[in-house]
Amino acid sequence: MTSNWFKEMLLVSVQETNKVLKDSGLLLFFIIVPVLYPLLYAYLYNNENIREVPVVVVDECGSSLSREFLSKSDATPDIRIVAHCSDFEEAQEMIRNHMAYGIIYVPAEFSRELAYGRQATVNLYCDMSGLLYYKCIYSGCTHVSLEMNKEIKMSRMGGISQHEMNVNAMPVEYDYVTMYNPRSGFCTYLIPAILVLIIQQTLVLGITLLAGTEREERQKGINLVGEFDAHPLSVFGGKTICYVCFYTMVCVYSFWLLPKLFHLPQMWHPHDLIQLMIPMLLASIFFAMTISFFVRERESCFLLFMFMSVPLLFMSGISWPRSAMPGFWKAFSCLFPSTFGINGYVRMANMGATLHEVRRECIWLWAQAAFYASTTVLIYIRLYRSTHMPDFKYMSKAAIERFRKRIGR
Amino acid sequence: MRIKESRAYAITRRELTRMIRRPVYLLCMICAPLFCFVFFTTLMGNGLPEDLPAGVVDCDNSSISRMVIRNLDAFQQTDLRYHYASFAEAREAMQSGKIYGFYYIPKGLSHDTQRFEQAKVSFYTNATYLVPASLLYQDMTKMSEYASAGVSRETLLAKGYTMDQAMGFLQPIQIDMRAVHNPMLNYSIYLSNTLLPGVLALIIMLVTVFSVHTELKDGTAGEWLDMADDNIYLAVFGKILPQTLVFMLMSMVYLVWLYGINSYPLNSGIWPMILASFLLVLALQGFALFICSAVPSLRWSLSLCTLWGVLSFPISGLSFPVMGMPPAIQALSNLFPLRQYYLIYVDQALNGLPLHYSAAPYLALVSFIVLPLVDVWLLKRTARQYVYLY
């Protein structure tokens, strides 16, 4: 009996694999998209950071000190001075024409204030079309000002030893370390999350496409409940085996080969990663199978799920921190495997977290897998054993007769 | 003329009934965009994450180290709520996602300061989460000056320096950063303005392709063309019209939602943005028609439009500027309607420039609208010959 059941399951999975291989739409989702999209994204963000943001300068002071400040700013990797303007209006005009993204304005009294021993101000204006411009201009100029402040303080104190001057200028020194992503790179930050998201989204799209096809065939009376009468549990098991096989390959590619190609961090332990990937894949597959029940046509999956990619990415908290998310959205995000998959994988790959440190995510993924597995099985039992199938009304009388005979009612 | 009008009307009516019959249209054209509009703006409700959880490892445990910690905690974005006994513990907390950064105060801080040696405090952020990390970094750089200045300032004031003189001594050059038109660095302003139209853009392209190609798939294309008297332009016009109206309505919804209800910066007045949004709807429909005429397969044209729609998020440059991308991509970015919309938004709503500064992106959107004129005749041929295969 058990071997029979097992055979049936294997048959279903072979049949499913055949379906996937024959259908160009499915190959697109199961192979082409998971291979090409990450490549594209990694290529887009391959520079990791923006450097040399063009800025214009209005130097009304024109002293050696202001020139020192400006040339030091120009020397930072963040800023490139593209023009010196005679007045503010001219500088603004350059910003309007997108020749530069920021203005460094040194007021006329800059060096005089410094000479008097008062505080001098440098004004920065930043075009807010992108936050990275702001970050670059701000950090570039701040570094220069910190450095010059130290020198000015030291020169004013004079007379003491170099060591003492250092201590006086900065009694407590601060050291800033960016862990896990030392270049603060965009690629390192976003690509791992996108890899996980693509796996879930292509699974949802592919599986709903398959379900939509089956449903269309049922409507036409071609293929009622699968080509042979398999038990819903074996259908469930067989399909799962097929998808797991495909996505094991995809996982190897996305989590091992691609990061190698683009020199992304891979700090995971194979042993830990596998233990995270298993619940992630299962949860995504069962989630997709449950969702697929609600799709009526082959192609409507595009319309119904594509737009969710961006909200899902945000829900994971990779961009907007989860600590600042409203409770409602936090709870809502728990419905999707990607939320925990992304957080778990990112921490393992970028931060070298061990399984113990991502146990919360792991538990959630297993819980989701269990939940969606049970919903899927319930739906399959209903779908495969009930005469009140959703599309029953579309069937011809002969088809219904055949169907009735088959399920023995 | 009369006949033509009535024909277009008949096709439009037919399209409307098709749309009502299939729930996928309702879900996709109305529910999905509304969900996203509400989602993005409420998710980033405050605009700036406050009280990011951070930790402290205080190995010194002296009054000086506690004073430093108090100073650090005063900043708005950082919430030093966890204390750890060792570096390893803090690192583990970071790896399990509890904190975004921590201060490390080494043993001997008070010792060093009293011996007149330079002490060092280290600050570690988790740059895997880029936004919290850069916010913490900003707090930290401000801090590094203020905290050490705070100590010396009191001494200077006691010595009889005025406040001006003291600050002039402690921080001779001050940086005054002005984030023009988004002074609070509101993250939602910076993202939602393009994300909302972006989601709508994706949906517009997909719906357009879907509605045209389902005619071919269902075998009703012949009937559709007959109704238009074999005039493909009329057929397409009648078919697209109801969708255009719905999408324009949805654009109005997000415009009202963003600029009316949420009061995001709108320095140009609403008209340039209405114009841009309507042109965006038409441009996307034009682009989608161009694709579905050129690629006579529902699946492949949907895939192409999906690729275009999804790629337009990164390539519009809203989060990572286009200037940092490879040169080939920089050129390619012009072919994305959303990129053009983003350029208009920056010039108009955000910066409030006169209209002529954004002439180029407006014209680019218009050129997307006329794009299908090039190849829509192909669609007619396919419509007459098509057999759905998968």
Domain that includes residue A118, residue range: 53-169
d(CA A37, CA A31): 10
- B207 and A172: CB-CB below 8 Å? no
* Option in A124, A134, A152 nearest B172 (CB): A152
- B172 and A119: CB-CB below 8 Å? yes
**Mean predicted lDDT score pLDDT of chain A:** 85
Q: How would residue B148 be classed by pLDDT, with cut points 50, 70 and 90?
A: low
Beta strands, E only, A62-209: 79-85, 102-106, 120-127, 172-179
- A44 and B180: CB-CB below 8 Å? no
At B165-201, the pLDDT tens digits run: 887 888 888 888 888 888 778 888 888 999 999 999 9
A358 and B CB contact within 8 Å: yes
- Domain at A151, CATH number: 3.40.1710.10
- Examine the fold and report which residue of A105, A135, A169 is the final residue of a domain before the chain moves on: A169
A325 in a structural domain? yes
> Which domains does chain B carry?
2-45+186-385 (no CATH), 52-170 (3.40.190)
CB A110 within 8 A of CB A61: yes
d(CA B168, CA B158): 16
Within this chain, do residues A74 and A213 fall inside the same structural domain, yes or no?
no
Confidence (pLDDT) at B76:
63
Confidence (pLDDT) at A219:
67
d(CA B119, CA B107): 10
Q: How would residue A390 be classed by pLDDT, with cut points 50, 70 and 90?
A: very low
Confidence (pLDDT) at A233:
81
| Beta pairing class for B101-105 and A172-179 | unpaired
Backbone φ and ψ for A53, nearest 5 degrees, come out as -65, 125
At B84-124, the pLDDT tens digits run: 999 999 998 988 888 888 888 888 888 887 777 777 888 88
A77 in a structural domain? yes
Q: How would residue B387 be classed by pLDDT, with cut points 50, 70 and 90?
A: low
Structure tokens at A157: 């104190």
Within this chain, do residues A267 and A371 fall inside the same structural domain, yes or no?
yes
Within this chain, do residues A371 and A282 fall inside the same structural domain, yes or no?
yes
Q: How would residue A388 be classed by pLDDT, with cut points 50, 70 and 90?
A: very low
Q: Which of residues 324-353 of B touch A (CB under 8 A)?
A: 324-326, 329, 346-347, 350-351, 353
At B23-61, the pLDDT tens digits run: 888 889 999 999 999 999 998 877 788 778 888 898 888
At B61-82, the pLDDT tens digits run: 888 788 778 877 776 677 788 8
Confidence (pLDDT) at A226:
45
Mean pLDDT for B140-163 is 72
CA distances to A13, B2, B20, B231 from B7, rounded to whole Å, are 51, 9, 20, 10
At A249-301, the pLDDT tens digits run: 999 999 999 999 988 888 889 999 999 999 999 999 999 999 988 887 777 88
Confidence (pLDDT) at A227:
40
Confidence (pLDDT) at A82:
94
The ipTM assigned to this model is 0.88
A114 and B CB contact within 8 Å: yes
d(CA A152, CA B291): 63
| Beta pairing class for B119-126 and B101-105 | antiparallel
B28 and A CB contact within 8 Å: yes
Confidence (pLDDT) at A273:
93
| Nearest CA-CA distance, residue A61 and chain B, Å | 14
Q: How would residue B347 be classed by pLDDT, with cut points 50, 70 and 90?
A: very high
Confidence (pLDDT) at A228:
46
Chain B CB contacts of A311 below 8 Å: 35-36, 39-40
- B199 and A129: CB-CB below 8 Å? no
Confidence (pLDDT) at B223:
85
| Nearest CA-CA distance, residue A373 and chain B, Å | 26
At B239-294, the pLDDT tens digits run: 999 999 999 999 999 999 999 998 898 999 899 999 999 999 999 999 999 998 99
B165 and A CB contact within 8 Å: yes
| Nearest CA-CA distance, residue A13 and chain B, Å | 21
Comparing alpha-carbon positions, the chain A residue that sits nearest to B27 is: A304
Its pTM stands at: 0.89
Q: What's at B100, amino acid-wise?
A: Y
Confidence (pLDDT) at A381:
80
Q: What's at A75, amino acid-wise?
A: A
Confidence (pLDDT) at A394:
45
Paired residues of B105 in beta bridges = B58
A175 in a structural domain? no
Confidence (pLDDT) at A401:
67
| Nearest CA-CA distance, residue A261 and chain B, Å | 17
Question: How many Cβ atoms are within 10 Å of A189's Cβ, its own excluded?
Answer: 25
Which helix (DSSP H) or strand (DSSP E) does residue A148 occupy?
Answer: helix A131-157
Which helix (DSSP H) or strand (DSSP E) does residue A211 occupy?
Answer: helix A186-220
B92 and A CB contact within 8 Å: yes
Chain A CB contacts of B33 below 8 Å: 307
d(CA B12, CA B4): 12
A311 and B CB contact within 8 Å: yes
At A61-86, the pLDDT tens digits run: 989 999 999 999 999 999 999 999 99
d(CA A108, CA A126): 20
Residue A368 has pLDDT above 90, yes or no: yes
- Examine the fold and report which residue of A145, A169, A193 is the final residue of a domain before the chain moves on: A169
Within this chain, do residues A216 and A318 fall inside the same structural domain, yes or no?
yes
A17 in a structural domain? yes
Number of domain units in chain A: 2
Q: How would residue A180 be classed by pLDDT, with cut points 50, 70 and 90?
A: confident
**Taking CA B103 as the corner, what is the angle to CA A193 and CA B67, rounded to the nearest 5 degrees?**
150
Residue showing tokens 């995971």? A268
Query: Would you give the DSSP letter of residue B340?
Result: H
Within this chain, do residues A165 and A189 fall inside the same structural domain, yes or no?
no
- B39 and A133: CB-CB below 8 Å? no
Residue A329 has pLDDT above 70, yes or no: yes
Confidence (pLDDT) at A234:
81
| Nearest CA-CA distance, residue B159 and chain A, Å | 15
Structure tokens at B177: 């950063």
A174 in a structural domain? no
- B128 and A189: CB-CB below 8 Å? yes
Which helix (DSSP H) or strand (DSSP E) does residue A86 occupy?
Answer: none
Within this chain, do residues A64 and A22 fall inside the same structural domain, yes or no?
no
Q: How would residue A393 be classed by pLDDT, with cut points 50, 70 and 90?
A: very low
Residue showing tokens 């708005």? B76
Within this chain, do residues A214 and A350 fall inside the same structural domain, yes or no?
yes
Within this chain, do residues A216 and A341 fall inside the same structural domain, yes or no?
yes
Alpha-carbon Rg for chain B, nearest whole angstrom, is 29
Comparing alpha-carbon positions, the chain B residue that sits nearest to A134 is: B179
Confidence (pLDDT) at B164:
80
CB B227 within 8 A of CB B312: no
Within this chain, do residues A345 and A251 fall inside the same structural domain, yes or no?
yes
**Minimum mean pLDDT among A5-14, A156-165, A234-243: which range?**
A156-165
| Nearest CA-CA distance, residue A330 and chain B, Å | 9
Within this chain, do residues A263 and A189 fall inside the same structural domain, yes or no?
yes
- Examine the fold and report which residue of A130, A146, A169 is the final residue of a domain before the chain moves on: A169
| Nearest CA-CA distance, residue B226 and chain A, Å | 26
Confidence (pLDDT) at B357:
92
Reduced to 3 states (helix: H, G, I; strand: E, B; else coil), residue B57 is: strand
A302 in a structural domain? yes
Within this chain, do residues A213 and A298 fall inside the same structural domain, yes or no?
yes
Chain A CB contacts of B97 below 8 Å: 343, 347, 360
A290 in a structural domain? yes
Within this chain, do residues A258 and A143 fall inside the same structural domain, yes or no?
no
**Minimum mean pLDDT among A46-50, A198-202, B269-273: which range?**
A46-50
Highest mean pLDDT among A18-22, A150-154, A202-206: A202-206
More confident residue, B71 or A223: B71
- A321 and B148: CB-CB below 8 Å? no
Q: How would residue A2 be classed by pLDDT, with cut points 50, 70 and 90?
A: low
A138 in a structural domain? yes
Confidence (pLDDT) at A387:
47
At B293-315, the pLDDT tens digits run: 998 888 888 889 999 999 999 99
| Beta pairing class for B119-126 and A172-179 | parallel
Comparing alpha-carbon positions, the chain A residue that sits nearest to B303 is: A302
- A329 and B43: CB-CB below 8 Å? yes
Return the percentage of chain A with pLDDT > 70, whole number. 88
